[in-house]
Amino acid sequence: MKIAFSKPEQTNSGTLVVGVSEERKLSPAAAALDKKSGGILTRAMGASRFKGKKDDLLEIVAPKGLSLARIVLIGLGKLEKLDALRLQGMGGQLVAFLNRVGETVATMQVDTLPGVPLQAPDMAAHIAYGAKLRSYRFDKYRTREKEESKPTLRSFNFMVTDIAAARKASAPLDRLADAIFFTRDLVSEPPNVIYPETLAERCKRLTAVGVKVEILDEKQLTKLGFNALLGVAQGSVRPPRVVVMHWNGAPKAKDKRPVAFCGKGVTFDTGGISIKPAGGMEDMKWDMAGAGAVIGLMEALAARRARVNAIGAVGLVENMPSGSAQRPSDIVKSLSGKTIEVLNTDAEGRLVLCDVMWYVQDRFKPKALVDLATLTGAVIVALGHEYAGIFSNNDDLTKNLIAAGEAVGERLWRLPLGDAYDRDIDSDAADVKNIGGGRVAGSTIGAQFLARFVNDVPWAHLDIAGVAWSKKDMPTVPKGATAFGVRLLDRLVADHYEEPA
């Protein structure tokens, strides 16, 4: 779908979209169209339940005299609440509707409106961004699809008085959307296509935007002592990889320490010897969604030339049962030197992350560390699919992450850490065991394990198991991989870690 911006002018084909706020108050564009059409908008609203509220939408067949297929009224709701996030949702809503009715060409006139915190160019940019996000499809393996199932919308044009300002506002959002699409593609790929070696290779794409990509192979990981990660990988014929991505966007900063992001990249998780039930195991191709989000974030930061030094590190393994697989009760010596009693091989993500996180802290001395992982099913029991869980040793970092999530629609809910939970992972045979003593507080136990491998650095763990994949369409996220975390962490960096221009 092509997105463009143009000056307000007469539209002669396709669908024309205009806005209406609460109490059926027409925007200037809608009022002009209503007058030109002899009051058809007013009459159509009067014959319907359309009130101009948020998410309201009314389709009108274009009357004689207008060379359009249809007119669409989109509800703006209360103008003072028409922020960037709502505008993005509106763009996604429109794309979904226009594809459903089989439209190929659409135009929307965007006006500056009293009470709206954004000017028309910024409004147009955010609607276009939402439209692009919703247009995403992962269909590369479909060889036969009914025509009525395919998207039809080829172009969406936004008419705004100041085209240059709209294009300027849209450019960084467009680049962010590309990074989100990259992550969605990675998470959507089947596990026979994406496995540690191939995912590491795809990270090399980031060199095109200036990211330095360093790939550690199995031999190097063994020499360095990544034994917790290697233990997870030893049952698979696919050798593990660790990818370290460097973005040095603030080389002259007084404090050159980077902000660091680590991602769990289990490209397929059978559970290993502690094998999962067959039902739903196909979903485990997206157990690398944390790594996917970190990879997409690094592209987003570099593509917009973010004034920050950042490190992204991902541990890539496949967790398989075989004659060489790790056994429950094995003990491994992690990169930190701490020994781990592995009592459940399906609690593997924490074993991958503990080595990667330790490596990043030891080598780069980051000013802050955030990890993302589809770590536990327990977080879905606690929070469903609406929030990701956040665990942290730092209140300011937690507050900043939660605020960033609210701003972009990727919401976080803080869950506890504590001494009582920490005692539950004391091992009788090693320094720590990888599960607790029962089935309770599973998400906290996973986070508490990771906390044992965190030094004196502000740290947050995001358990994204419930939000990495959606089984239903959402305004800017079609069913499938969500790329949760890319927008959130890009906003965190922009708000709190970038150097002044």
As annotated, the active-site residues are 276, 350
Backbone phi, psi, residue 483, to 5°:
65, 30
Contact 364, 255 (CB under 8 A): no
The rounded distance, in Å, linking the Cα atoms of 431 and 452 is: 10
Helix (H, G, I), strand (E, B) or coil at 484: coil
> Could you tell me which of 319, 336, 232 has the C-alpha nearest to residue 270?
319
The rounded distance, in Å, linking the Cα atoms of 137 and 133 is: 10
HSE-CB at 216 with a 13 A cutoff on CA atoms is: 21
Contact 62, 70 (CB under 8 A): yes
Residue with tokens 């467009």: 174
Give the H/E segment covering residue 493: helix 486-496
Quick one: how far is CA 253 from the chain centroid?
Answer: 28
Helix (H, G, I), strand (E, B) or coil at 461: strand
The rounded distance, in Å, linking the Cα atoms of 277 and 342 is: 20
Q: How far is CA 379 from CA 83, 254, 387, 390, 489, in A?
A: 30, 39, 9, 10, 20
The rounded distance, in Å, linking the Cα atoms of 316 and 495 is: 30
Q: State the DSSP string of 190-244.
A: -TTT-SHHHHHHHHGGGGGGT-EEEEE-HHHHHHHT-HHHHHHHTTSSS--EEEE
Number of Cβ within a 10 Å radius of residue 312? 30
Number of Cβ within a 10 Å radius of residue 369? 26
Q: How far is CA 287 from CA 282, 297, 442, in A?
A: 10, 17, 17
Type of residue at 33: L
> Could you tell me which of 87, 88, 108 has the C-alpha nearest to residue 180?
88
